[in-house]
Structure 1
Amino acid sequence: MKYLKQYRIPFSGLAAGIHDFDFEIDDKFFDCFEHSLVKKGKLLAKVSLQKQETMLIVNFDIQGRIFLQCDVCLTEFESPLHFTERVIVKFINEEWDNETEEVIVLNKTDHELDIANLLYEYINVQVPYYAKCSEQGENISCDPEMLAKISGTVDAEEQSTTESESIDPRWAALKNIKNN
Structure 2
Amino acid sequence: MKHLKQYRIPFSGLNAGKHNFEFEINKKFFDCFEHSIVKDGHLTANVELQKQENLLILNFTVVGDIQLTCDICLSEFPSPITVKERILVKFTAEDWTDNTEEVLVLSKSDHELDLTELLYEYINLAVPLFTKCSDQGRNITCDPEMLAHISIEQPKEDQAEEENIDPRWAALRNIKNN
Same fold (TM over 0.5): yes
Q: TM-score, normalised by structure 1?
A: 0.92
Question: Deviation per CA, 1:131-163, whole angstroms, max 9, x where unpaired?
Answer: 0000000101111111110011xx1232x5412
Alpha carbons of structure 1 residues 29 and 163: separation in structure 2 relative to 1, 3 Å: same
Corresponding residue for residue 42 of structure 1: 42
Corresponding residue for residue 16 of structure 2: 16
* d(CA) in 2 for partners of 1:157, 1:111: 66
Corresponding residue for residue 89 of structure 2: 89
Q: Does 1:168 align with 2:142?
A: no
Percent of aligned positions that are identical: 63
Question: Deviation per CA, 1:46-105, whole angstroms, max 9, x where unpaired?
Answer: 000000000100000100000100000101011001121000000010022431011000
What pairs with 1:1-180 in structure 2 (closer than 5 Å)?
Answer: 1-152=1-152, 155-158=153-156, 160-166=157-163, 167-173=165-171
* d(CA) in 2 for partners of 1:57, 1:119: 15
Q: Number of aligned residue pairs: give it.
A: 174
* d(CA) in 2 for partners of 1:124, 1:7: 17
Contact in 1 for aligned 2:30/2:38 (Cα 8 Å): yes
Q: CA deviation at 1:172?
A: 4.0
**What SS class does the counterpart of residue 117 from structure 1 fall into?**
helix
Contact in 1 for aligned 2:30/2:36 (Cα 8 Å): yes
* d(CA) in 2 for partners of 1:7, 1:90: 19
Root-mean-square deviation (CA, aligned residues, Å) is 1.7
* d(CA) in 1 for partners of 2:144, 2:9: 47
4+ residue stretches of structure 1 with deviation over 3 A? Answer: 171-176
* d(CA) in 2 for partners of 1:87, 1:49: 10
- Structure 2 unaligned blocks of 5 or more: none
